[in-house]
Structure 1
Amino acid sequence: MTAMTPARTEPDLSFLLDHTSHVLRTQMSAALAEIGLTARMHCVLVHALEGERTQIQLAEIGDMDKTTMVVTVDALEKAGLAERRPSSTDRRARIIAVTDEGARVAGRSQKIVDRVHEQALAALPDGDREALLRALKLLAGDGLSAPAENPRPARRARQPLK
């Protein structure tokens, strides 16, 4: 640190959240790859099983753009895990329906996701684990619930191509 370096008055929250999020994503990606899924595929399967949802609704839940959602659903269809069907309430809309095999795979993938989360949190004592989760829920529900309007939007880190 030089004399010109500004003094830090707060911990580097951006680095801490970014780094831990990146590591968790890589661990999740590796674990789900064992059954041929991506985290996005898992997200679509699980949320499509909750009720009749369109691609647009599932994209919003999974924080995906339209192109990413189309590619994800295409992969799920190719694997026989989901299919696009007309909505029962709106003939113009198409929903993502999970096949029986997709529901079975979603059950397996949810166990994997739970295990990865449990392993990540195992590094913390019980009280700290509960405090971290409570604090993150508060931030996600209030202080950091929506991105700021910005003429130059922040880009998310690119995921490596396989």
Structure 2
Amino acid sequence: MKPETPAELAADLMFLLNQATYALATDMSAGLTHLGVSTRDYCVLLTAQTGELTQKELGDLCSLDKTTMVVTIDGLERAGLAVRQPSSTDRRARIVQVTDKGRDLVKEAREIVDGIYAGILDELPARERSVFVDSLVRLVGAGGRLAEPSHVGPAIRRRGTRSVN
């Protein structure tokens, strides 16, 4: 937080969480750049390794809309990091599987991410680290107050104005 941050903002939960998210995302982006993946790519690959997940399930877990998910998986497939396989239970669904190359990349990326996390958590006294992380897990985990938006409907898409030549 910048030293000139007004006191009202320094105590505002939304401001604090937003600032933390922005700073962490920037650090992770910079850390993963040399691997040729984005934080979104990393999230999708890491999450896809947890089980047989469809594109939709994976998108939901990574908070990605359908279009962004398709574009992301297309890129991961082109890079040889993931493949789509037909689901054995739903012929319309595709399971996203991480390739050996993708697993190797996740392992390397995980070391970078763990280093970033450690650097951040090292800012807190040892006795506060687990309390901080446990509290966040409780707030955003299943059933937590911040697990998902409680009052926000689906995004409204509006058509842009068209110019006539």
TM-score with structure 2 setting the length: 0.80
> Residue 82 of structure 1 corresponds to which residue in structure 2?
82
> Residue 39 of structure 2 corresponds to which residue in structure 1?
39
Distance 1:78 1:151, change over 3 A: closer
> Residue 138 of structure 2 corresponds to which residue in structure 1?
138
SS in 2 for 1:34: helix
Which stretch shows the higher mean deviation, 126-135 or 139-148? 139-148
Q: Partners in 1 of 2:120 and 2:103 — Cα distance?
A: 26
> Residue 158 of structure 2 corresponds to which residue in structure 1?
none
Distance 1:150 1:62, change over 3 A: closer
Which stretch shows the higher mean deviation, 86-95 or 106-115? 86-95
Unaligned runs of 5+ in 1: 1-6, 154-162
Distance 1:131 1:56, change over 3 A: same
Q: In the TM superposition, what is the alpha-carbon distance from 1:50 to its structure 2 partner?
A: 1.8
Q: What residue identity is the alignment partner of 1:105?
A: L
Q: What residue identity is the alignment partner of 1:147?
A: P
Q: Partners in 1 of 2:60 and 2:115 — Cα distance?
A: 25
Q: In the TM superposition, what is the alpha-carbon distance from 1:88 to its structure 2 partner?
A: 2.7
Q: In the TM superposition, what is the alpha-carbon distance from 1:61 to its structure 2 partner?
A: 0.6
Equivalent pairs counted in the alignment come to 146
Matches within 5 A, 1:1-162: 11-141=11-141, 142-150=144-152
Q: In the TM superposition, what is the alpha-carbon distance from 1:92 to its structure 2 partner?
A: 2.5
> Residue 161 of structure 2 corresponds to which residue in structure 1?
none
Unaligned runs of 5+ in 2: 1-6, 156-165
Q: In the TM superposition, what is the alpha-carbon distance from 1:14 to its structure 2 partner?
A: 0.9
Q: What residue identity is the alignment partner of 1:27?
A: D
SS in 2 for 1:143: coil
Specify which structure has the bigger relative contact order, considering alpha-carbon pairs within 8 angstroms and separated by 6 or more residues. Answer: 1
Distance 1:95 1:13, change over 3 A: same
Distance 1:152 1:58, change over 3 A: closer
RMSD: 2.1
Q: In the TM superposition, what is the alpha-carbon distance from 1:152 to its structure 2 partner?
A: 9.5
